[in-house]
A and B are shown apart, each in its own frame.
Chain A
Amino acid sequence: MNNNKQAITIKGTKDGLTFIIDETCSFDQILKELETKLSSSVVDKDHPMVKVNIHLGNRYLTKEMKDDFLQIVRSKNNLIINEITSNVITKHEAKEWQKDLEVSTITRMVRAGQTVHVQGDLLLVGDVNPGGSVSATGNIYILGRLNGIAHAGLEGDRQAVVVAAYMNPTQLRIADLLSRSPDFATEGVYMECAYVDEEHDKILIDRIQMLSNLRPNLRSMERRISNG
């Protein structure tokens, strides 16, 4: 049925080549056709690298399938894969994605020896006492006193921030960076945010009002859907 129809349509755009993959034919067929199509096209060795975008339509590729696919494209040495897009993701991926975008609200005190961890953003209504710690893969917002440890961007997101109504932490951690309180006793500060300053490669603290300038993507909640 589909044998007459092309499984792969190649289009040239100003961003390079776009491969549109038919979503109804079998995967073997695609690989076969890809092989023939790419070998039949005459490739000039001196030709600059060509970017390839792949549109899968409503097809889902497992990691193994993707690897097989990429291997064929990469074997043609002047093609580089720019992007693979698909209209579908698995339920599991969708749930993880949703968790990453979610703000989990927790109302409690985090006392000495207690830890709270969430995936995504954390909104804590309560205090973090000395010896207590909170962590999140995203941002941390504390409506209360931060006297303990807060670790935002736990899985390496340096864009993550820690915001607290009262900031007097023993330690602040964002992604792979750490800063600690000075060795002399300090009064905390009210309404502050902590972020990573890429220029100096360290964690800085500023007034909460500066946050929208420092992290423009936080201005609206849709932000990370676009780069999810």
Chain B
Amino acid sequence: MSYIGEITGGIKSLLMGMSVTGKYFLINFFTRRDVITEQYPDNINTLKMFDRFRGEVVMWHNENNEHRCTGCSACERACPNGTIEILWKKVVNPETGKGRRAIDKHIYHLGMCTMCGLCIEACPTNAIEWGQEYHHPTYDRTKLTKVLNKPGSKLMQGTKE
């Protein structure tokens, strides 16, 4: 009897599989509801990448143009191929008159970046994070070298060093 049972069971499972795929076919053939294809060059202005997409490394700034980067250069040391360079400057605290090192330029060579994410893991103050911008082509290679801290930005008050 198991012979007949195998045949009917087989047919039943095949039909079940076909009903699942057939449902998806009908839905997508008539409405394109579940189609996940992005028609890239056409929707270049509206296409938003998902939150976990690794497009580029960006530095977070608040509305007062303040960032959290203390210039500890942990990211520079963590980077496996020298994508990140950090330039220093000296700022003088007007109240105490003491000089203190602070970040001048956080230079990021996008053209060399492998999107490994080690710099973001290494950052002790969560100053840098992933950006979702995916459209990077330029006609000039030097444009891929970016300065992440915005001009005139300062260290946010209360950031632990």
Partners in one complex: no
